[in-house]
Structure 1
Amino acid sequence: MFLEIEHSENFEGSLFLRFKEVGLAKPLMQVKLYERSIQGEWCDVVGWTDNEADPVCPAFGQPVEDSGAGLAYLVFGGMCGIRIRPVEIKEPWSLESPYQWGESHLLLADIGDLRFQEP
């Protein structure tokens, strides 16, 4: 699998990465992150595109091989990366919000840190 993220207001860099897929990608709702809290913090996650009228698209979680950790879970979204906000923040997705941030992707080690959408 190839992951290409373009420079945008959501993610200031650009990148092109290659991963070896181990399973199928599934639509994702939330991820648990540990940057701001040692106990972890559940965050909503969506994909982000360059469509100015509606930039939100689905985010996905997919098992991949990671050379440093073995099995990992790649979190990815649109051509402009993913957008994240803590679950307690109930506001529309926006580049202007100080409570939201963009990333190119995430690579998480524990499947327990991903909440997938119900089928």
Structure 2
Amino acid sequence: MVVEVESNPNCESSLYARFKESGPARRVVKVRTFERRSEGEWCWVTGWTDSPDNPRCAAHAQLVEDSGAGLTYVVFGGLWGIRLKPVVLDEDWSLESRGQWGEPYLALADQNDIQYAEEVSG
């Protein structure tokens, strides 16, 4: 599995990373991240692309081998990475929002920090 993200307005960091797959990719709608709060916060997540008219795309999580952590879940999106917003924030997705932020990808150790699309829709 390869994650490639260009430097862009969603996230400044470019990235090219290769991971050894240990499971299938599954669509993700929410993740619990510990980047901003030590107790963690649940966030909506979407993929982000370079399309000016429709930049959103699906975000996915895939179990991969990580040389430093054993197995980890990589959450990835489009060519411009992923975009996150706290679930308490009720606004549309936008690069202009100060309450939202972009990342090239996330690496999460615990599957309990991921909510998959099929868990929401059925």
Class of the TM-score when normalised by the shorter of the 2 chains: over 0.9
Unaligned runs of 5+ in 2: none
Report percent identity of matched pairs: 53
After superposition, what is the alpha-carbon deviation per residue over 1:59-115, rounded to whole angstroms, capped at 9, x for unaligned? 000000010110100000000000000001011100000000000000110000000
Secondary structure of the 2:112 match is: helix
Secondary structure of the 1:47 match is: strand
User: Map of 1:1-119 to 2, 5 A cutoff?
Assistant: 1-118=1-118
Q: CA RMSD in A?
A: 0.9
Q: How many residue pairs are counted as aligned between the two chains?
A: 119
Shift of 1:34: 1.4
Unaligned runs of 5+ in 1: none
Q: Which amino acid aligns with 2:64?
A: V
State the TM-score, normalizing by the size of structure 2: 0.94
After superposition, what is the alpha-carbon deviation per residue over 1:15-49, rounded to whole angstroms, capped at 9, x for unaligned? 11000000000000000011232221100000000
